[in-house]
Structure 1
Amino acid sequence: MMPESVLNQRITLNNGVTMPRLGLGSWKASNTATDQAVSAAIQQGYRLIDTAKQYGNEAGVGAGIRNGLLATGLNRKDLFVTTKVYNGDQGYDSTLRAFDQTLKQLQLHYVDLYLIHWPVDGKYIDTWRALEELYRNGQVRAIGVSNFDQERLTNLLDKTAVTPVVNQMEFNPLNQERGLRQLMRLTGIQLEAWSPLGGGASLNQPVIQELAHKYHKTPAQIILRWDYQENIVTIPKSVHSGRILENSQIGDFTLSEHDVAAIQALDQEKRGLWYEDFAWHNPTDPKAMKDFVSSWDDTAKYQK
């Protein structure tokens, strides 16, 4: 008997909406590559697709959704689509305008989950109130945040009416956000992992390599199974059909408690990207990133 795919497993968010536990991320992928990856993922059983305006590929994601649905005979309601408010669009009115443009890019009538991409100083409270408006109007099924530390998440909870359903964070064996996870458990907010594999730094850890050998799995599958057992929603990014399929094949083994603890012991609180890297938080640093949307050579083709 074949093990049930983890792609069929869902968690219930704090507003009662259910969300797949494993999905496809799309950061740093062109519209063409994303179109192909999303379509392939849907055909392989993925139902959670994650994008953002900042990625510059919402149009490609929309095309991939259409192609995937056409190939499988599924309906829009069978998918769970997440996108995010671009940093440069934050604020109440500007967020509402930006959401209308996002729907046009995705060619959807609603999104399942809309997130604040980063907590832009002085703007994220007003941005959240715009998300609350979209939620009340039924244009989004759930609203959440991304990259909110304990201080900013607490401030948001104190000043607004709707509790986020999700906080999407950089999370991998080298950055496990222990204190933040405790706050989120207390407030009923689900952790979702971006950069779950942590690149080579996590995949090449001797512990991960040894467990891959022990369980006859890839290092990526070991990390994704660990996430699954830690009850974390995970969105590994890939544009390769074989890798996308491989990432989902983690339902036929279980890490022992000892092995889970060994991965937990790898935590170094090591983030790859954080507030000081952005001009909205660190305006005097000439190296700090300004707000920008990724540009791809195929953008015009997908926006026709």
Structure 2
Amino acid sequence: MTTIFENDLPENVLSIERRSRIWNGAIVEDIHEHAAGRVLHPMPHANETRFTVSLAEVGSTTECRLKPDKANPVEHSTNHMAVISRGLPWWGYSSQLHYARYAMIVFDLPILEARLQGDFRPAIFEQPRLRFNDPRILSLVKMLLDIPDAGGSYSLLGDSLVAGVLALLSAIPLTERQSMKLAPWQVRRVKDYMLSRLPQSIELAELAALLGQSQWHFCRAFKASTGISPYQWQLEEKIKMAQEHLLKSDAPLDLIAEATGFSDAMHLIRAFKKRTGQTPAAWRRENGFR
């Protein structure tokens, strides 16, 4: 994760902290802004297509403006969202701001169109959309921001969530659930590939390419066929690998974490306890090496 504390701040802005990561060719930023009074300033990434969602507003409401002296005509709502077209300048405004937190996803449309293929409609981003709401997108964005900073351990999860946000923004109609499922041989091929790559990180694009599908179609079809996402399936297999190590040796947790693709012992402990209800140490005492 890259954290930037901005200098040369706009009037009445006390600090701006931007935490950035890249998933699936998109920049995902978690932005925290502290202020004391009226705020009006240009927003970053003016040369790219951007999506924002408001996560917190303290002091007064915030708004996205396409002209600095023209108020946003759309009525305010909690967790309001905006899509700003590439090359279109925009401003953030608040009449009496103390604190604001918002997420911003910066899209490289040519890269994403190539990756997501038929599930991505770049034309939908040619016109700005202001102050709309979608609880499904909000949930995905919050999950993106909550991904721990653990190297490549969460690549599949981050890629999948960005693909999901894009698919929802593109308003792709859902197909019938039955048609979304993978054929049994397709499920076996993907699972065999993921098993062969363990404990290495895998990108969503790799798995979709195995079947010649777009990323978002593959995600939906895999979950419809197995009941869980590709990331969850991979994580369960890594937990099984960790259990094998716990059963057969007295190796310390940091070595087991390294051998099974977790970033460190704490990452392993959190994931292991969430899925088994026990810490690795407790599970080992009850079931493992003696």
Normalising by the residue count of structure 1, what TM-score does the alignment of the two structures yield? 0.24
Judging by fraction of residues, say which structure has more strand: 2
Structure index of larger Rg: 2
Kindly indicate whether structure 1 or structure 2 has the higher relative contact order, using CA contacts under 8 Å at least 6 residues apart: 1
